[in-house]
């Protein structure tokens, strides 16, 4: 396995292709987007991720990574394309289908195909393998197929790509062993072999575990608000128990994984996956809850202006996909609020982004939606002076309550009730 073709140069494919190239493999990175080909070909990543620029640059300079818009013959193929969700909450496998079809003409006896994209249980065996079988190679005997989900955290992708344990689900034992050989070359964590459907379910359950626990935290926040106590204190104290790990409440769950993956289970088990479905609904409702709090904090103000702080789906990343900010801003605008949004990382967003000063100028309320480190260091004395009303809503618990109150703000923290 000396030459690897990586299909899809996104958040997972590009770091994976670059790491492999830096570990001595000959890598062909394939993407259908010509802008990405052009950028990456010049040694420039199209996504912001700590350490990625250096890695891509050296991969391209070494000649070990080349990028193209069509695949070519290789020993192994890694498919890392998106599996988005359709409007009716089902997995859209069209990118997996076209990626698989695009490699069929290049497949040879002894090749290995690895799927990394998050997929509903059964995809590798019942969706991918039948497409690959069009090569006339016998799956599991002449063509090896495995599922190896990515598990990296945006913002720490490179560190986790190398350090995390990996689960590999081979369509046969030999398929799994061949895939293990590749990952062993750059992974410092452990590698666990299983079957493909188990590996798919492992990936989905990791993110579902998180979603369900965030829903529990969001529910807890609502209960504490009614009780007049502070959910953040409850969480901190409950987590002193050695077997408790309560998650954090917030404005909702964003990103392209956690709000999506649980639906892949619900799609298969619409009746049985009750808790999973309800958790999704609780988390999806959070932006509406934030909207209601904003309405109650601004109810006597005509034409209120809201400064939205942070449109990325979480702190310190530039990714705004499925961000709770999208739904909240939509609600605010629909209800005639003036909205000025700021984010120190995000460059492309659905609405115009302005400077911090511009956002605070004449605002009646500021709402913190992303836990960016920058927001922990806000100069609220100066920014407060730009506001029409000094009101602030913290949905992430990043602000210092004592300091805010000394600056004369009216302050609310999600999950903290007032008796």
Catalytic residue numbers? 203, 257
**164 phi, psi to nearest 5 deg:** -70, 150
Which structure tokens are listed for 28? 């062909």
**76 phi, psi to nearest 5 deg:** -135, 150
Q: Which of 257, 340, 368, 413 binds ligand SAJ (CB under 6 A)?
A: 257
Euclidean distance between CA atoms 187 and 191, whole angstroms:
8
Q: Does 13 bind ligand SAJ (CB under 6 A)?
A: no
Least distance between ligand SAJ and beta carbon 152 (Å): 5
Question: Is the CB of 206 or the CB of 267 nearer to ligand SAJ?
Answer: 206
Least distance between ligand SAJ and beta carbon 97 (Å): 20
Q: Does 154 bind ligand SAJ (CB under 6 A)?
A: yes
Q: Does 248 bind ligand SAJ (CB under 6 A)?
A: yes
- Closest-by-Cβ residue to ligand SAJ is 257
Least distance between ligand SAJ and beta carbon 260 (Å): 9
Residue in 398, 411, 328 with CA at minimum distance from that of residue 366 = 411
Q: Which of 222, 254, 287, 310 binds ligand SAJ (CB under 6 A)?
A: 254
* Cβ 301 vs Cβ 260: under 8 Å: no
Q: Which of 1, 131, 153, 162 binds ligand SAJ (CB under 6 A)?
A: 153
Binding window for ligand SAJ (CB under 6 A); candidates: 37-45, 60-68, 69-77, 248-256? 248-256
The three-state secondary structure class of 52 is helix
Question: Is the CB of 8 or the CB of 255 nearer to ligand SAJ?
Answer: 255
Q: Which of 313, 337, 375, 411 binds ligand SAJ (CB under 6 A)?
A: 313
Q: Does 200 bind ligand SAJ (CB under 6 A)?
A: no
Euclidean distance between CA atoms 408 and 276, whole angstroms:
42
3-state secondary structure 362-393: CCCEEEECCCCHHHHCCCHHHHHHCCCCCEEE
Q: Does 166 bind ligand SAJ (CB under 6 A)?
A: no
Instruction: Kindly determine how many residues on this chain lie close enough to bind ligand SAJ according to the rule CB under 6 A.
Output: 20
The three-state secondary structure class of 340 is strand
Alpha helices in 82-172 (DSSP H): 94-103, 123, 129-132, 157-163
Residues in 38-77 that interact with ligand SAJ by CB under 6 A: none
Euclidean distance between CA atoms 160 and 155, whole angstroms:
10
Euclidean distance between CA atoms 154 and 261, whole angstroms:
16
Question: Is the CB of 313 or the CB of 375 nearer to ligand SAJ?
Answer: 313
Residue in 152, 153, 155, 165 with CA at minimum distance from that of residue 52 = 155
Beta-strand (E) ranges in 32-137? Answer: 65-68, 76-79, 112-115
Euclidean distance between CA atoms 18 and 58, whole angstroms:
8
Find tokens 């609020």 and name the residue.
Answer: 337
Least distance between ligand SAJ and beta carbon 314 (Å): 4
Q: Does 328 bind ligand SAJ (CB under 6 A)?
A: no
* Cβ 165 vs Cβ 180: under 8 Å: no
Question: Is the CB of 176 or the CB of 287 nearer to ligand SAJ?
Answer: 287
Cβ contacts of residue 106 below 8 Å, gap of 6+?
5, 71, 72, 73, 74, 77
Question: Is the CB of 154 or the CB of 415 nearer to ligand SAJ?
Answer: 154
Q: Does 152 bind ligand SAJ (CB under 6 A)?
A: yes
DSSP state letter for 252: -
Q: Which of 178, 314, 390, 412 binds ligand SAJ (CB under 6 A)?
A: 314
Binding track over 203-232 against ligand SAJ, x by CB under 6 A: ---xx--x---x------------------
Q: What is the CA radius of gyration of the chain?
A: 24
* Cβ 3 vs Cβ 28: under 8 Å: yes
Task: Convert 29-60 to b/e letters by CB count within 10 Å (16 or more is b).
Answer: bbbbeeebbebbeebebbbebeebeebbbebb
Question: Is the CB of 200 or the CB of 364 nearer to ligand SAJ?
Answer: 200
Q: Which of 113, 161, 258, 393 binds ligand SAJ (CB under 6 A)?
A: 258
Binding window for ligand SAJ (CB under 6 A); candidates: 173-181, 224-232, 255-263, 374-382? 255-263
Least distance between ligand SAJ and beta carbon 148 (Å): 12
Residues in 348-407 that interact with ligand SAJ by CB under 6 A: none
Residues in 87-146 that interact with ligand SAJ by CB under 6 A: 118
Q: Does 247 bind ligand SAJ (CB under 6 A)?
A: yes
Could you list the residues that contact ligand SAJ (CB under 6 A)?
A: 118, 150-154, 206-207, 210, 214, 247-248, 250, 253-255, 257-258, 313-314
């Amino acid at each position: 396995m000396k030459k690897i073709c990586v299909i899809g140069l996104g958040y997972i494919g590009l770091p994976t292709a670059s790491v492999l190239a830096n570990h001595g493999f000959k890598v062909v990175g394939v993407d259908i987007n010509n802008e990405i080909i052009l950028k990456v070909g010049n040694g420039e990543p199209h996504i912001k991720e700590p350490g990625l620029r250096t890695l891509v640059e050296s991969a391209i300079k070494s000649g070990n990574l080349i990028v193209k818009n069509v695949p070519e013959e290789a020993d192994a193929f890694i498919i890392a394309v998106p599996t988005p969700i359709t409007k009716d909450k089902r997995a859209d496998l069209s990118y997996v289908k076209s990626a698989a079809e695009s490699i069929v003409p290049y497949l040879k006896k002894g090749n290995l195909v690895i799927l990394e994209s998050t997929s509903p249980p059964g995809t590798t065996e019942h969706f991918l393998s039948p497409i690959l079988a069009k090569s006339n190679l016998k799956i599991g005997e002449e063509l090896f197929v495995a599922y190896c989900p990515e598990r990296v955290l945006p913002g720490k992708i490179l560190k986790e790509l190398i350090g995390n344990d990996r689960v590999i689900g081979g369509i046969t034992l030999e398929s799994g062993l061949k895939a293990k050989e590749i990952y062993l070359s750059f992974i410092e964590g452990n590698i666990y072999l299983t079957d493909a459907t188990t590996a798919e379910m492992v990936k989905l359950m990791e993110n579902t575990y998180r979603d369900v626990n965030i829903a529990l935290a969001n529910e807890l926040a609502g209960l504490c608000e009614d009780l007049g106590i502070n959910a953040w204190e409850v969480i901190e104290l409950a987590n002193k128990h050695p077997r408790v790990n309560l998650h954090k409440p917030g404005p909702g769950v964003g990103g392209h994984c956690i709000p999506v993956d649980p639906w892949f289970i619900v799609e298969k088990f619409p009746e049985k996956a009750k808790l999973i479905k309800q958790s999704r609904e609780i988390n999806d409702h959070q932006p509406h809850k934030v909207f209601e709090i904003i309405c109650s904090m601004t109810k006597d103000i005509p034409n209120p202006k809201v400064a939205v702080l942070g449109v990325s789906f979480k702190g310190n990343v530039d990714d705004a996909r499925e961000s709770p900010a999208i739904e909240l801003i939509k609600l605010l605008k629909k209800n005639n609020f003036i909205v000025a949004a700021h984010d120190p990382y995000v460059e492309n967003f659905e609405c115009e982004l302005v400077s911090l000063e511009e956002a605070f100028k004449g605002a009646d309320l500021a709402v913190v939606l992303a836990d960016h480190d920058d927001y922990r260091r806000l100069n609220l004395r100066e920014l407060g002076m730009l506001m029409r009303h000094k009101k602030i809503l913290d949905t992430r618990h990043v602000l210092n309550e004592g300091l805010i109150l000394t600056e004369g703000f009216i302050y609310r923290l999600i999950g903290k009730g007032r008796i």
